[in-house]
Amino acid sequence: MTEVLKICADHNLIVASGHYPYSDTKIVMEEAKRVGVKRMEIIHPAHIHSKTLISEMKEAASEGIKLMLSGLGTTTFPLHETGPVYAVRIIKEVGPDHLVYGSDYGQIHNPSHLVGTEWTIKLLLAYGATKEEVKKVFQTTPAKHLGLE
């Protein structure tokens, strides 16, 4: 693992966690940081397989790690144990400057990325996220994370 992380550090790549429990993800992120990786992201922190508490999300965010806000998780209430209420709670408590949108749509049994993303934005706004917060999660924070700003 360390060799791969060093390659990521040398080429300023983003290290993303995949679909792992937070306890495993934390180990990867600590090692990535130790070898010089500057950009890291936790994928699906709110999903049942990741088991990441909001307090753990805040801890990761305080260390400069970005967290994915999943469109599919936001729109499918019981399936991913998240839904729009929890997604807005994450935005409010962790902060939009630490979140990057990932649609998770596009499979044959789910809406297209465009339709799913539109639903996600409508739900986030309906459940209390502000337009400014949504813009940060969908545009500003991802652009910075990718080095586009």
CATH number, residue 84: 3.20.20.140
pLDDT at 51: 80
Q: What is the pLDDT of residues 48-69, one digit of tens each?
A: 778 889 999 999 999 999 999 9
pTM of the model: 0.93
pLDDT at 18: 80
Domain coverage including residue 96: 2-145
Contact between 73 and 46 (Cβ < 8 Å): yes
3-state secondary structure 42-98: ECCCCCCCCCCCHHHHHHHHHCCCEEEEEHHHHHCHHHHCCHHHHHHHHHHHHCHHH
Mean pLDDT per 10-residue run, the chain (149 residues)? 96 92 94 98 87 93 96 75 86 98 92 95 97 98 94
Number of domains, the chain: 1
